[in-house]
Structure 1
Amino acid sequence: MRTHVLTGATSGIGAALGRALAERGDRLVLLARSETTAAALALDFPQAQVLLVDLADPGTLNGLGRQVEGRVDSLLQVAGVVELAPVSRLRLHDWQEQLAVNLTSPAVLTREFLPHLRESRGIVVFVNSSAGLTANAEWSAYAASKFGLRTLADALRAEEVEHGVRVTTIYPSRTATPMQQKVHEQEGRTYDASRWISPETVVSTVLHVLDLPVDATIPDLTVRPVVPRPGT
């Protein structure tokens, strides 16, 4: 039985990944932002350890690694927030929250769990975004956080290779999640989940990375939807 620390398990890709790992009989350590969220996760994942932290406040993560006993085989960083706006109207709070949740907290979490991962020769998986590869109009803060996450992964990979810790970044394009529905609302577009990648497809990609033999690694992996043409 392997142990996975997972962020973002309340919805979307993170929830689907948590379910898949629980069904395999793996042990989960889940992060919750509030007592309400923690209670919901405890109901959905009764065998999991749930830790109360706020990714929007990276200081709450200090010392988190000491709250998990025993082996940790992977750190799966899925949580993220998005707020679209042109630079001319993007509020300071939105800049700060996206950088904190999408970049700073993953860095602090990685630091906290590296002793565990070094001992197990485990893996860190960053579920990034296609916005971590290309920045479009109104995506400045989100893309900046995801570009930063990409460089964090690259530096970490170079630093930890001598310790046997593998690092993979997965770049899903638009995926049918509540976050994607919010993005469509902000863009003023009609949301059609059937046109985008399912969360389960991204999960299968993560599982493939987790199940690789220890003599192999996939540093970067992009997942794109096959969008049907209109009328087909």
Structure 2
Amino acid sequence: MATSAKPDTDRPTALITGASRGLGAAIARELAPAHQLLLGARTPQALEPMLRELPGSAGWPVDLTDYDAVARAAAGIERLDVLVHNAGIADLGTIADSSVAQWRNTLEANLIAVAELTRLLLPALRAANGHVVLINSGAGLRANPGWGAYAASKFGLRAFGDALRLEEPALRVTSVHPGRIGTDMQREIIAGEGRAYDPDEFLTAETVARVVRNAVETPRDAHPTEIVLRPIAR
């Protein structure tokens, strides 16, 4: 499987984390026609279906919380036009029932790993006057019961995006705050809530991916800083 971080065409390069399934895969499909893609996931095996589906793309398999491995993987990227931070976890539960490990793992995956990967790729992003897209959540705007650790990580991610936008004025930084999306992760969350899964309650991954593409394709005289999406009540 190809894992080269160097584009093989003159198209702009986009790196998407968590691209093996769900929203990440949908974003890859939306960006593929106009971009050379680097598809991120934990393992090469997880990426094989998407690499077959999008044959012009390259795999970028790395555990984003293994910072030595991330540094090695990022070292080969000299220019990056788009960085989409999509990977993350949702370990839910009340504060009373939470643990240090839950808080640490959630903040590590959803915030610290994002900050470190961005930091490592800043030279490549600066070289392209690039665009950083942060897939946040409605929980990054309002916390709900049972979502404390997750919401804290997403509030932190929003603050990270705000700071990055001010510190790196040559870059565009977009925080996307979708409501619940109909993905495999959502099925697991609904099962944990003890209720039936109804896809009509949720946004589709394809809709959110289209919004990401629209943000990336926004002309350079505009800066799409924050996008909030909610499912239409049915």
Contact 1:102–1:146, Cα closer than 8 Å, also in 2: yes
1:2 is the counterpart of 2:22: no
Aligned residues: 224
Cα distance in 2 for partners of 1:57, 1:144 equals 22
C-alpha deviation, 1:175, in angstroms: 1.0
Residue number among 210, 215, 221 corresponding to 1:215 in the alignment = 221
Cα distance in 2 for partners of 1:26, 1:218 equals 19
Q: How far does the alpha carbon of each residue in 1:76-115 deviate from its partner, in whole angstroms, 9 at most, with x for none?
A: 1111110111122223332222111110111111111111
Show the counterpart of 1:77: 85
Q: How far does the alpha carbon of each residue in 1:177-223 deviate from its partner, in whole angstroms, 9 at most, with x for none?
A: 11111111111121111221111111111111101111111111100
Q: What residue identity is the alignment partner of 2:157? A: L
Q: What residue identity is the alignment partner of 1:19? A: R
C-alpha deviation, 1:44, in angstroms: 3.4
Show the counterpart of 1:224: 230
Residue number among 93, 101, 112 corresponding to 2:120 in the alignment = 112
Cα distance in 1 for partners of 2:94, 2:29 equals 36
Show the counterpart of 2:198: 192
Contact 1:41–1:50, Cα closer than 8 Å, also in 2: no
Residue number among 2, 9, 15 corresponding to 2:25 in the alignment = 15
Q: How does 1:121-132 map to 2 (within 5 A)?
A: 121-132=129-140
Contact 2:17–2:39, Cα closer than 8 Å, also in 1: yes
C-alpha deviation, 1:25, in angstroms: 4.2
Contact 1:56–1:97, Cα closer than 8 Å, also in 2: no
Cα distance in 2 for partners of 1:58, 1:144 equals 22
Q: How far does the alpha carbon of each residue in 1:126-163 deviate from its partner, in whole angstroms, 9 at most, with x for none?
A: 010000011111111111110110000000000001xx
Residue number among 137, 161, 173 corresponding to 1:167 in the alignment = 173
Which runs of structure 1 show a deviation greater than 4 angstroms over 4 or more consecutive aligned residues?
A: none
Aligned to 2:96, what secondary structure does the other structure show? helix
Cα distance in 1 for partners of 2:186, 2:61 equals 25
Contact 2:20–2:39, Cα closer than 8 Å, also in 1: no
Unaligned 5+ residue runs, structure 2? 1-10
Contact 1:118–1:165, Cα closer than 8 Å, also in 2: yes
Cα distance in 2 for partners of 1:187, 1:90 equals 16
- Between 148-157 and 77-86, the greater mean CA deviation after superposition: 77-86
Show the counterpart of 2:74: 65
Q: How does 1:127-206 map to 2 (within 5 A)?
A: 127-161=135-169, 164-206=170-212
- Scaled by the length of structure 1, the TM-score of the pair is 0.91
C-alpha deviation, 1:60, in angstroms: 2.9
Q: What residue identity is the alignment partner of 2:99? A: R
Higher helix proportion: 1
